[in-house]
Amino acid sequence: MEFVINEWFLEWHKPDAKPEEQRKARAFTNWLIKSEHRIVLLKNSNFTQKLNNIRRDFDYHPMSNSYLKLFFSQVFMNPERCRIVDEPPNLPNEIETILTRPEEPPLTNIESDRYLFESAETTQEKIIVTTDTKLIKHFENNEHFQLWHTDDFFNHHNII
């Protein structure tokens, strides 16, 4: 199975993340390394930019998370665990409509999440794992992508 994750994973590696988030990030990293599944990331996306920023900003930190280094070396740099998409594909018209339709109140960060859908579009499963409940709700009636909350995904795959 291939699937997409967003920045929750990186935030959970920061030194100021909650202990429960750090524990979940470690469990997820271990699961990814041992599983047959693969994450898919769009090159030069918010995720890859944040990954590089966190590695640069926190590498010197005494609380630097070795699991982020493990993720980088064992998952991100391993084509069996991470597939990098060079160019974003076109999205189906119905997804473009959902991404661009005005809402009351509007989803302010929806355009910044476009990379998730572009990455997932290149997979067979079209799964996006996120903590963003507003995004999940916004796309709940689409028939193209599966948006999973991290807790549901973790429970379903016995990650924790």
Q: Which of these, 57, 74, 73, 75, lies nearest to 15 by C-alpha position?
A: 57
Kindly state the average pLDDT of the residues 42-56. 87
Grade residue 105 by pLDDT with cuts at 50, 70 and 90: low
In the DSSP assignment, the letter for residue 10 is H
Does residue 64 have a pLDDT over 70? no
Q: Are 62 and 69 in contact (CB under 8 A)?
A: no
Kindly list the structural domains of the chain, giving each domain's residue range(s) and its CATH number in brackets, ordered by start. 2-156 (3.40.50)
Grade residue 109 by pLDDT with cuts at 50, 70 and 90: low
Q: Which of 9-18, 24-33, 99-108, 122-131 has the lowest mean pLDDT?
A: 99-108
Give the Cα separation of 80 and 37 in Å (integer).
Answer: 8
Question: What does pTM read for this prediction?
Answer: 0.90
